[in-house]
Amino acid sequence: MSMGLLTACVAPGSRPMPLAASGPVSVSHEGVAYLVDLQPTLTGAQMTISAETDALAFDQGLTAKRVAERFCAGRGGRVDPRALGRFVGGNWLFDGGCA
């Protein structure tokens, strides 16, 4: 397995940050709790953003991206600028994870 499959968040000038082995992480944004699940894929990583209580709606893409930004910032990184968001079954998915 290549190192690219094992890393998703990196801070500029530091070593790659490994994926969390503990599963989804709770992230609060504007008083609402969300779950962020960062998983390896064949091409890098995928970050899934979901609400802890209800499903997200299609028009909550910007909110999901802000949650992803908070998640990555908490690990000393940022959302990968190449990350493309898509809405699937009440969740927002971002390819690329953190950079």
Name the residue ranges covered by the structural domains of the chain. Answer: 3-9+23-95
Q: What digits encode the pLDDT tens for the residues 48-99?
A: 999 999 899 999 999 999 999 999 999 888 987 777 799 999 999 998 878 7
Query: What is the C-alpha separation between 8 and 12, in angstroms, rounded?
Result: 13
Provide the whole-model pTM: 0.75
Q: What is d(CA 77, CA 10) in angstroms, rounded to the nearest whole number?
A: 5
